[in-house]
Amino acid sequence: MLPCDSASNARLEALYLSHHAWLRGWLWRRLGCPERAADFAHETFFRVLTRPGTETLEQPRAFLTCIATHLLIDDSRRARIERAWRETQAAVGQVAVPSAEQVVEFIDALERIARLLQGLGERPRKALLMYRLDGMSQADIAAELGVSVSMVKKYVAQGLVHCHRALCNAKHNSIAAL
Protein backbone atom coordinates (compact mmCIF):
# COMPACT_ATOMS: atom_id res chain seq x y z
CA MET A 1 0.00 0.00 0.00
CA LEU A 2 1.23 3.43 -0.83
CA PRO A 3 1.20 5.88 2.04
CA CYS A 4 -1.82 8.14 1.77
CA ASP A 5 -0.91 11.36 3.49
CA SER A 6 0.02 14.11 1.08
CA ALA A 7 3.30 15.14 2.75
CA SER A 8 4.94 11.75 2.27
CA ASN A 9 3.43 11.49 -1.20
CA ALA A 10 5.18 14.72 -2.09
CA ARG A 11 8.50 13.34 -0.82
CA LEU A 12 8.10 10.13 -2.79
CA GLU A 13 7.31 12.14 -5.87
CA ALA A 14 10.44 14.20 -5.32
CA LEU A 15 12.48 11.00 -4.90
CA TYR A 16 11.11 9.66 -8.14
CA LEU A 17 11.62 12.89 -10.08
CA SER A 18 15.16 13.48 -8.92
CA HIS A 19 16.50 9.92 -9.32
CA HIS A 20 14.44 8.01 -11.84
CA ALA A 21 16.28 9.25 -14.94
CA TRP A 22 19.61 8.71 -13.23
CA LEU A 23 18.73 5.13 -12.25
CA ARG A 24 17.54 4.35 -15.76
CA GLY A 25 20.89 5.57 -17.09
CA TRP A 26 22.76 3.47 -14.53
CA LEU A 27 20.81 0.37 -15.55
CA TRP A 28 21.18 1.15 -19.26
CA ARG A 29 24.96 1.15 -18.92
CA ARG A 30 24.83 -2.22 -17.22
CA LEU A 31 22.26 -3.89 -19.44
CA GLY A 32 23.06 -2.24 -22.76
CA CYS A 33 19.37 -2.13 -23.56
CA PRO A 34 17.17 0.92 -22.97
CA GLU A 35 13.88 -1.03 -22.80
CA ARG A 36 15.10 -3.46 -20.17
CA ALA A 37 16.69 -0.59 -18.25
CA ALA A 38 13.31 1.18 -18.18
CA ASP A 39 11.60 -2.01 -16.96
CA PHE A 40 14.11 -2.54 -14.19
CA ALA A 41 13.98 1.12 -13.15
CA HIS A 42 10.22 0.85 -12.96
CA GLU A 43 10.38 -2.31 -10.88
CA THR A 44 13.02 -0.82 -8.59
CA PHE A 45 10.94 2.25 -7.88
CA PHE A 46 7.88 0.12 -7.31
CA ARG A 47 9.78 -1.82 -4.64
CA VAL A 48 11.19 1.31 -3.06
CA LEU A 49 7.96 3.29 -3.05
CA THR A 50 5.91 0.47 -1.55
CA ARG A 51 8.34 0.11 1.34
CA PRO A 52 7.67 2.06 4.52
CA GLY A 53 10.19 4.64 5.62
CA THR A 54 11.61 5.35 2.19
CA GLU A 55 10.48 8.98 2.23
CA THR A 56 13.34 9.74 4.58
CA LEU A 57 16.21 7.97 2.83
CA GLU A 58 19.58 9.46 3.55
CA GLN A 59 21.39 8.08 0.53
CA PRO A 60 18.66 7.42 -1.96
CA ARG A 61 20.95 6.54 -4.88
CA ALA A 62 22.91 3.95 -2.93
CA PHE A 63 19.64 2.45 -1.78
CA LEU A 64 18.19 2.44 -5.30
CA THR A 65 21.23 0.76 -6.85
CA CYS A 66 21.20 -1.82 -4.07
CA ILE A 67 17.58 -2.77 -4.82
CA ALA A 68 18.22 -2.69 -8.57
CA THR A 69 21.26 -4.97 -8.20
CA HIS A 70 19.18 -7.49 -6.28
CA LEU A 71 16.59 -7.42 -9.03
CA LEU A 72 19.28 -7.98 -11.66
CA ILE A 73 20.69 -10.94 -9.73
CA ASP A 74 17.23 -12.44 -9.28
CA ASP A 75 16.52 -11.93 -12.95
CA SER A 76 19.69 -13.60 -14.14
CA ARG A 77 19.13 -16.50 -11.77
CA ARG A 78 15.62 -16.90 -13.06
CA ALA A 79 16.82 -16.79 -16.67
CA ARG A 80 19.45 -19.38 -15.87
CA ILE A 81 16.98 -21.69 -14.20
CA GLU A 82 14.51 -21.32 -17.03
CA ARG A 83 17.16 -22.00 -19.67
CA ALA A 84 18.49 -25.02 -17.79
CA TRP A 85 15.00 -26.40 -17.38
CA ARG A 86 14.01 -25.89 -21.02
CA GLU A 87 17.17 -27.62 -22.19
CA THR A 88 16.51 -30.49 -19.83
CA GLN A 89 12.95 -30.77 -21.09
CA ALA A 90 14.01 -30.72 -24.72
CA ALA A 91 16.25 -33.69 -24.06
CA VAL A 92 13.68 -35.61 -22.01
CA GLY A 93 10.99 -35.34 -24.68
CA GLN A 94 7.99 -35.65 -22.40
CA VAL A 95 4.58 -36.80 -23.54
CA ALA A 96 2.63 -34.00 -21.91
CA VAL A 97 3.80 -30.53 -22.86
CA PRO A 98 3.00 -28.13 -20.02
CA SER A 99 1.13 -24.92 -20.81
CA ALA A 100 2.88 -21.53 -20.71
CA GLU A 101 1.21 -20.78 -17.38
CA GLN A 102 2.42 -24.06 -15.92
CA VAL A 103 5.95 -23.30 -17.06
CA VAL A 104 5.88 -19.86 -15.42
CA GLU A 105 4.50 -21.35 -12.22
CA PHE A 106 7.11 -24.06 -12.24
CA ILE A 107 10.01 -21.68 -12.86
CA ASP A 108 8.64 -19.53 -10.03
CA ALA A 109 8.75 -22.55 -7.75
CA LEU A 110 12.28 -23.46 -8.79
CA GLU A 111 13.45 -19.91 -8.28
CA ARG A 112 11.94 -19.80 -4.81
CA ILE A 113 13.70 -23.02 -3.95
CA ALA A 114 17.02 -21.81 -5.39
CA ARG A 115 16.74 -18.71 -3.23
CA LEU A 116 16.04 -20.74 -0.10
CA LEU A 117 19.03 -22.95 -0.81
CA GLN A 118 21.45 -20.07 -1.23
CA GLY A 119 24.43 -20.42 1.04
CA LEU A 120 23.70 -24.03 1.95
CA GLY A 121 26.67 -26.39 1.68
CA GLU A 122 27.15 -28.60 -1.35
CA ARG A 123 26.23 -31.94 0.17
CA PRO A 124 23.27 -30.86 2.31
CA ARG A 125 21.91 -29.11 -0.78
CA LYS A 126 22.25 -32.18 -2.94
CA ALA A 127 20.81 -34.46 -0.27
CA LEU A 128 17.83 -32.18 0.29
CA LEU A 129 17.07 -31.86 -3.42
CA MET A 130 17.35 -35.59 -4.03
CA TYR A 131 15.09 -36.21 -1.10
CA ARG A 132 12.47 -33.55 -1.62
CA LEU A 133 12.38 -33.09 -5.38
CA ASP A 134 13.22 -36.57 -6.56
CA GLY A 135 11.71 -38.51 -3.70
CA MET A 136 14.80 -40.70 -3.49
CA SER A 137 15.10 -42.91 -0.46
CA GLN A 138 17.63 -42.03 2.22
CA ALA A 139 19.51 -45.23 1.42
CA ASP A 140 19.73 -44.34 -2.28
CA ILE A 141 20.99 -40.85 -1.46
CA ALA A 142 23.58 -42.31 0.88
CA ALA A 143 24.79 -44.57 -1.93
CA GLU A 144 24.88 -41.72 -4.43
CA LEU A 145 26.77 -39.36 -2.13
CA GLY A 146 28.97 -42.08 -0.71
CA VAL A 147 28.03 -41.40 2.90
CA SER A 148 26.06 -43.21 5.62
CA VAL A 149 22.28 -43.00 5.93
CA SER A 150 22.59 -41.22 9.25
CA MET A 151 24.77 -38.63 7.51
CA VAL A 152 22.06 -38.19 4.89
CA LYS A 153 19.55 -37.60 7.68
CA LYS A 154 21.86 -34.99 9.14
CA TYR A 155 22.29 -33.28 5.77
CA VAL A 156 18.57 -33.14 5.04
CA ALA A 157 17.73 -31.88 8.53
CA GLN A 158 20.49 -29.26 8.26
CA GLY A 159 19.09 -28.22 4.88
CA LEU A 160 15.59 -27.91 6.30
CA VAL A 161 16.76 -25.64 9.12
CA HIS A 162 18.72 -23.54 6.63
CA CYS A 163 15.69 -23.14 4.40
CA HIS A 164 13.50 -22.34 7.39
CA ARG A 165 15.79 -19.46 8.25
CA ALA A 166 15.79 -18.25 4.64
CA LEU A 167 12.01 -18.49 4.56
CA CYS A 168 11.72 -16.46 7.77
CA ASN A 169 13.97 -13.76 6.38
CA ALA A 170 11.96 -13.66 3.17
CA LYS A 171 8.73 -13.36 5.16
CA HIS A 172 10.10 -10.51 7.23
CA ASN A 173 11.17 -8.70 4.10
CA SER A 174 7.84 -9.10 2.40
CA ILE A 175 6.01 -7.96 5.53
CA ALA A 176 8.25 -4.93 5.62
CA ALA A 177 7.39 -4.28 1.99
CA LEU A 178 3.66 -4.19 2.68
Partner 1 sequence: MTQRLPDSQPPPETPFEQLLSEAAQWRVRLEDDAATDSDHRAFKRWLAISDSHRRAWREIGETWEALGGAQLPGARAALERSHAEERVDARRLLRRTVIGLAILAVLPAAGLWVSNTSLAYWLADYRSATGERRTVKLEDGSVLDMNTATAVDLHFDSARRRIALRRGEVHLRVAADPDRPLEITTEAGAVRALGTRFSVRRLDTPAAGSGSRGAAMRVAVYESHVRLCVASGESCRKLRRGEQARATAAGIAPTEAMAKHSQPAWLQDRMDVLNQPVIDVLEELARYHPGILHYDKQALAGLRVSATLPLDDIPRALDALALALPIRIQAYGRWLLVVSRSEIEAAATVP
By the criterion CB under 8 A, which residues form the site for partner 1?
77, 80-81, 83-85, 87-89, 91-96, 98, 106, 109-110, 112-114, 116-117, 125-126, 128-138, 140, 149, 153-154, 156-158, 160-161, 163-164, 167
Nearer to partner 1, 12 or 82 (CB): 82
Give the nearest distance from C-beta 45 to partner 1 in angstroms: 27
Cβ(130)–Cβ(141) under 8 Å?
yes
Neighbour-count burial for 71-85, b at 16+ CB within 10 Å, e otherwise? bbeebeebeebbeee
d(CA 34, CA 100) in angstroms, rounded, equals 27
Residue number, 20 or 132, with CB nearest to partner 1: 132
The torsion defined by the Cα of 100, 103, 104 and 109, in degrees rounded to 10, comes to 160
Spatial contact of 61 and 22, defined as CB atoms under 8 Å apart = yes
φ, ψ (nearest 5 deg) of residue 98: -70, 150
CB nearer to partner 1: give 19 or 123: 123
Q: How many CA atoms lie within 13 A of 16 on its CB side?
A: 16
Of the pair 13, 134, the CB lying nearest partner 1 is at 134
Smallest separation (angstroms) from partner 1 to the CB of 100: 15
Nearer to partner 1, 12 or 114 (CB): 114
